[in-house]
Structure 1
Amino acid sequence: MAESANDPVGRDADRSGTILDEGGIDTDARAGRSLGIDPSREPDEQTKQQIEEERASRLDPDNRPDGAEVDNTERTFDHDRGQFTDSPDYDGSEPPRFSDPEDPNNPDNA
């Protein structure tokens, strides 16, 4: 390969290949189309059905690991004790484990 001042390694000499030829990853705007997918087009009914079946399978409580939570937005988390208030081992009368003695907003420091 020929070397130049701007290309001391000689990479400019052979521009016929692409980054994919050397095991690289296609990261340009066409990457989504490499599998024949047009990202701007609405999926067909069969694809929509497959997506919905996969989603239902993932959200099915029978497929979750033991103790896994999907949505905790309706639950109340006690930051001082590090537990949800509806947890079986939650005891609000225990002293807070995560009470910051230097926090001016901490009611324990009043």
Structure 2
Amino acid sequence: LNYDLYLRHYGVSIYRSPVRHSFAQLQNLLLEIDRENGWHNYYTSHQDVIVRSATGLSFFQKIVEQQTQLLQHSNWAFYFFHYDWLAQVNVDVSEDIGPWDVLIPY
């Protein structure tokens, strides 16, 4: 991967974990990275998904519209786009709920 291209051109940071994680471990790791960086929410998706808008709005316009709606409410933990192909996670509420249980397989 060309990390420099993604960061400088697209503004996307890539974290490469030295080990494989279960789903629950990965979710807990993402929450830890968010806490370290002071992020209040983040987007996550399946690795085999291409995000595009099905409406007349561009994907970014749709995200801004959705973000404006979510700012009116603070009690949401996850916002799913087309099931869970793309999801926005509210870090503050997710921390209130607690960590993912790593003893539950899948």
Choose 1 or 2 for highest CA Rg: 1
Q: Which has the higher helix share?
A: 2
Q: Which has the higher strand share?
A: 2
What's the TM-score, normalizing by structure 2? 0.18
1 or 2 for the larger relative contact order (CA 8 Å, sep ≥6)?
Answer: 2
